[in-house]
Amino acid sequence: MGPKRPASNSPRVSAVAGGPRPTPPIRFGDDPTMAASTNNPVPSSRALAKARAKALRDRKQGCCSPRRSSAGRGGGGFLATLINFTFKIGIFYVIIGALWHCSSKPFSFEYSANDPRALCRNLYTVKAELTPHLHDLHAQLSPHVEPYIAPLRPYAQQAYKRGKPIYNDLTKRGALAWKRYGEPKRQQAEKAARKWADPHIKRARKEWKKQVQPHIDHAHKTTKPYQDT
């Protein structure tokens, strides 16, 4: 027989025999998908619910906190403050005029077309414009509502007949109480409102002349040649 072949130096045999250690496998980098799956496991439904609740709470605190709301109001500038102030004063003035100032009696809603005050004349015009539409609406709804109201009408008439003297007495007492207590308070409130509003109105006029009026004059000068032609 021929000579024996020398034993191969395979890694497995060498490792068993105490020779060199086997060559480790070559790795070319971590797979990002595998890393993401191992490092970021899928959260549970309870964790998702907590995260959503925290995000909603942070969102509410971010949009409605006093600091942010005050900063948002301050960021609007003087013009936004002036518009907001004018709008509130206008609504307050209209409500006072409609309920007390322009009516012959409080809450009577009776206005005059010959009233020297512009607000009262405008309230009369609005009431005159809305009254026909309200009558038309009542005429359209009456056939549908009448079957339900007819059985209750006798009881309502009886209650009105019994309550009319009480209503008249309360009306007289209310008018006297308003004349004695309400009217002085209204005058005091009107004086206080004017005292508080006069500085703001003066400032608004000053800012108007300083910031807005120059632009209006410039626009008028720019468009005047085209208007003349």
| Per-residue pLDDT tens over the stretch 45-65 | 777 788 888 887 777 666 554
pLDDT the model gives residue 15? 46
23 Cβ contact partners less than 8 Å away, ≥ 6 residues apart = 11
Amino acid symbol at 172: K
pLDDT the model gives residue 98? 85
Calculate the average pLDDT of the chain.
76
pLDDT the model gives residue 72? 46
pLDDT the model gives residue 28? 55
As a whole number of angstroms, the distance between CA 113 and CA 47 comes to 68
Output the CA angle 150-152-157, nearest 5 degrees.
100
Q: Low-confidence residues of the chain, pLDDT below 50? A: 1, 10-16, 33, 35-38, 65-75
Residues in the chain: 229
pLDDT the model gives residue 73? 47
Asked whether the beta carbons of 22 and 11 are under 8 A apart, the reply is yes
pLDDT the model gives residue 70? 45
Return the structure tokens found at 81.
Answer: 């403050």
pLDDT the model gives residue 6? 52
Q: How far is CA 27 from CA 22, 24, 145, 178, in A?
A: 15, 9, 85, 93
pLDDT the model gives residue 63? 52
